[in-house]
Amino acid sequence: MTPPRPTAATRTYGVYRPVLPVTSPRNPDRMVYTGDAEGRCEIFTWDRSNRTGRQLTDRPHGTLLCAIDEDEAVWWFDEDPGGSGGWRTQDFDGGPDRPALAGVPSGRPAGLALAAGGLVAVGIRTPEGLGVHLGRRGGTAASVLCAKGSGTLCDLAPDGGLLAVSGPAHSDRAVTLLTPDGTTVAVLSGTTERTWALGFAPTGAPLAGTPPLPGPTPFPDAPTAPGPMPSPGPEPTPGRTLLLVLRERAGRYHLGTWAPDRGLELLPWCSFDTETTARWYPGPGRTRILLRQDRHGRSRLFTADLDRGELTPVPTPEGSILDAAPAADGDVHFIWTDAVNVPRALSLSGTPLPGQSRWRLPRFGRRQDLWTPGPDGPVHTLVTTPADRPAPHPLVLLVHGGPADHDRDAYDPMVQALVGSGYAVARVNYRGSTGYGPRWRSAYTEGVGHTQVADLVRARAELLARGVGREGAVGLCGTSWGGYLTLLAMGTRPDLWDAGVAVKPLADCATAFRHSTPALQALDSRLFGGTPDEVPDAYTHASPSTYAAAIRSPLLVVAARRDAKCPPEQVEAYLDVLRAAGVAHELMWLDSGHDGYDGADHLAVIRRSLRFLGRGLPSAPARAEPSPHPERR
């Protein structure tokens, strides 16, 4: 979501979700995308050949997920405010919408895969676990899989003969290969080496020998081929099924392929030191793959040519690439952003893409990177400071969610709102964050939550020592897992923080487990080493409610009544502790789920947070004549 635009007469905000348009398999000029409809996310169509489009969905709480099949039927997920629902379809050129598949229960989306000939596989999460269903659009689906616990439908082979289902990457069923009748063909375990399925290759054909996209000299530390390889990788052949796989091994992420007749084969010339994902180039006979690596808060793209065994960097601007997809004509579409530029959908060829943000927002601040020594390596902090006010500033540590996520050199409306109001903002990629390698992601040496709080404390100390922030005016603000760390830090180190804002937080670990989804229960069991009944002390030690009575600074809690990830019951349990201890706090309830698609809710939270922080962390006045073009560093 973009922040308020002061020149708007009738609208004061807009929505922009960084989601790439999806291209029709039949006609690359026809696309569907998620765009802004008066402050809500809705689904739109776009025909590039005649530059015409239309809004397809119009629902009070918005719509996010969409796809398009080879018959140019648009698929969109019809969910209620709590996140449950089912897929519906509508013709690209208009007409009524209708249920996509009969016989699929209502639930949360867990994957959609479209194959040739109109065959489709749907993944749905219900309280009973993951269900995978197979059928044809408009018909009745057959159940392929009913599995307890967490999981996601990854893909359906082009010929419809095999499905790939992803479980937790560390589990003994990280990837399961099934036939349409539910028979298990193979299982890839991730217990010793975490494993991810990334999708089936397009319909096989002899090696095309397509040259890689031109690119600059490789990055200094980019992975490179150690020399000519005798066998670059499995060759796609007509009718052959090939699954793209990523496996963590020896502190790196290795690309590989799985085939029924050859099993899993890793490509020795294609590995990365930080988290990477990949997609096949579309079209029959393609032997190229597009890879996106997240590294130290920024992103970069590569192409891998399986025929030649070559890895080539793809030129993109410095910053973050939130998503990238190869096109059949060899072009690449991607979402690019940096700390001061709103995310934009771009293409390497320069071809315009639909769904662009039309907002032109002021650039308030300067940016810099800070690396703070720590027991498991340096902690990386992205710092943005006001350009029109002298340091030291009131300081807000804006804490990212996850835990398996990271802050990026990317536009964030909350950062811009805070910096424009006179605050310095620090985004800390604490231990457990992605983008810094497997060792960093698994470093919980001081316990769940407490490890991350220790890194926030270290970053705080250095920011004050460097004169970026000032003592007595340091706050925390976070959403989801970031809200959890905000509450935990406020309770365990109450002397360090002068205000805190926790939005949709994990607040009471044991209560959250009992009211959460199977996927999040599996995550908690992994983090804590068991369930609350099995390891109660671990949950108690990590839970913000254990330390809530110690809070001494102003606290704002924002929670959602329909939140399935951080359910309201566990927020109420936390609030009970605050009330019993007489801890002063403010409370804001939203009538939404964890991920709202209505910009009005996001805007309301930003405004309330700014007012609250303004009372606890007063800022210095701006200089009379700020520079119109602040230096970028």
- The fold adopted by the segment(s) 365-616 is Rossmann fold (3.40.50)
CATH number, domain 201-210+232-354: 2.120.10.30
The dihedral over CA atoms of 416, 417, 421, 424, expressed in degrees to the nearest 10, equals -50
Taken in order 12, 18, 23, 29, the sign of the CA dihedral is positive
Tell me, what's the pLDDT at 359? Answer: 58
End-to-end CA distance of the chain: 25
* CB-based contacts of 560, cutoff 8 Å, min separation 6: 504, 566, 568, 589, 590, 591, 592, 593, 594, 596
What is the percent of the chain with per-residue pLDDT over 70, rounded to a whole number?
A: 86
Whole-model pTM?
0.82
State how far the Cα of 195 lies from the Cα of 606, in Å rounded to an integer: 38
Tell me, what's the pLDDT at 353? Answer: 83
Over residues 302-316, the pLDDT tens digits come to 999 998 999 999 999
Q: In the predicted model, what is the mean pLDDT of the chain?
A: 86
Q: What is the DSSP string of 197-218?
A: EEEEPSSP-S---PPPPP--SP
Res. 320: pLDDT tops 60: yes
Query: Which tokens sit at 543?
Result: 């839970």
| For range 345-358, the mean pLDDT | 81
* CB-based contacts of 250, cutoff 8 Å, min separation 6: none
Q: What's the pLDDT band for 628 if we cut at 50, 70, 90?
A: very low
Give the angle 20-26-32 at the CA atoms, nearest 5°: 30
Over residues 417-452, the pLDDT tens digits come to 899 899 999 999 999 999 999 999 999 999 999 999
Q: How do beta strands 499-503 and 469-479 pair? A: parallel
CA–CA distance from 561 to each of 346, 381, 507, 596 (Å)? 37, 33, 14, 12
State how far the Cα of 180 lies from the Cα of 161, in Å rounded to an integer: 6
Q: What's the pLDDT band for 41 if we cut at 50, 70, 90?
A: confident
Q: What is the DSSP string of 572-602?
A: HHHHHHHHHHT---EEEEESS-SS--BHHHH
Where along the chain do its domains lie? 201-210+232-354, 365-616
Res. 609: pLDDT tops 90: yes
Tell me how crowded residue 7 is: count the other CB atoms within 10 A of its CB.
Answer: 7
The dihedral over CA atoms of 83, 85, 89, 93, expressed in degrees to the nearest 10, equals -40
77-81, 356-360, 361-365: which range is least confident on average? 356-360
Over residues 272-281, the pLDDT tens digits come to 999 999 999 9
Over residues 197-237, the pLDDT tens digits come to 999 998 643 322 222 222 322 222 333 333 333 334 444 44
Cis peptide before 518 (omega within 30 of 0): no
Q: How do beta strands 30-37 and 40-47 pair? A: antiparallel
Stronger pLDDT, 361 or 323, i.e. the higher one: 323
Stronger pLDDT, 334 or 365, i.e. the higher one: 334
Res. 513: pLDDT tops 90: yes
Contact 350, 250 (CB under 8 A): no
State how far the Cα of 608 lies from the Cα of 75, in Å rounded to an integer: 36
State how far the Cα of 484 lies from the Cα of 245, in Å rounded to an integer: 33
Q: What's the pLDDT band for 286 if we cut at 50, 70, 90?
A: low
Res. 459: pLDDT tops 50: yes
